[in-house]
């Protein structure tokens, strides 16, 4: 079983602050996804990264895939209350057919 560890588990910040959350593993992945899940809803895909060192931006969100494809980070600039939710990383190991594994998530609360 591939283990994806996310940190921190919980984060409560004031509106306008910056933050970074992490997704780490000892395994190499062929791709990694970030999802956001709002209370009472299912996860919504934000981005997929596939190349080591890749950086993708989605408005105020910046996603980076580690050079060795074992880890990823999500940086949010000037957080807004609408960013509140559970951030999940998910990854698919390299080599053959492998199922997607999800991390435990980072619960973010942005206080107005």
Partner 1 sequence: ETGVTQTPRHLVMGMTNKKSLKCEQHLGHNAMYWYKQSAKKPLELMFVYSLEERVENNSVPSRFSPECPNSSHLFLHLHTLQPEDSALYLCASSQRTGDYEQYFGPGTRLTVT
The Cα 70–Cα 78 span in angstroms is 27
- Report the distance separating Cα 72 and Cα 54, nearest Å: 10
Quick check: 7 binds partner 1 (CB under 8 A)?
no
Residue 16 beta carbon to partner 1: minimum distance, rounded to whole angstroms: 29
Quick check: 40 binds partner 1 (CB under 8 A)? yes
Q: What is the pairing mode between strands 106-111 and 10-14? A: parallel
Residues binding partner 1: number (CB under 8 A): 25
Confirm or reject binding of residue 43 to partner 1 (CB under 8 A). Answer: yes
Interface with partner 1, residue 110, by CB under 8 A: no
Rounded Cα–Cα distance for residues 95 and 28 (Å): 10
- Closer to partner 1 by CB, 79 or 90: give it: 90
Omega before residue 8 within 30° of 0, cis: yes
Binding stretches for partner 1 (CB under 8 A): 4, 30-31, 33, 35, 40-45, 48, 88, 90-92, 97-105
């Amino acid at each position: 079983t591939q283990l994806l560890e996310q940190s921190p588990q919980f984060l409560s910040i004031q509106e306008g602050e910056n933050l970074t959350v992490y997704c780490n593993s000892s395994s190499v992945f062929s791709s990694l996804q970030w999802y956001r899940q709002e209370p009472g809803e299912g996860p919504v895909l934000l981005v997929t990264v596939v190349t080591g060192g890749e950086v993708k931006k989605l408005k105020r969100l910046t996603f980076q895939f580690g050079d060795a494809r074992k880890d990823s980070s999500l940086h949010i600039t000037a957080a807004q209350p609408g960013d509140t939710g559970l951030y999940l990383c998910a990854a698919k190991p390299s080599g053959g057919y492998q199922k997607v594994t999800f991390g435990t998530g980072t619960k973010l609360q942005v206080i107005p």
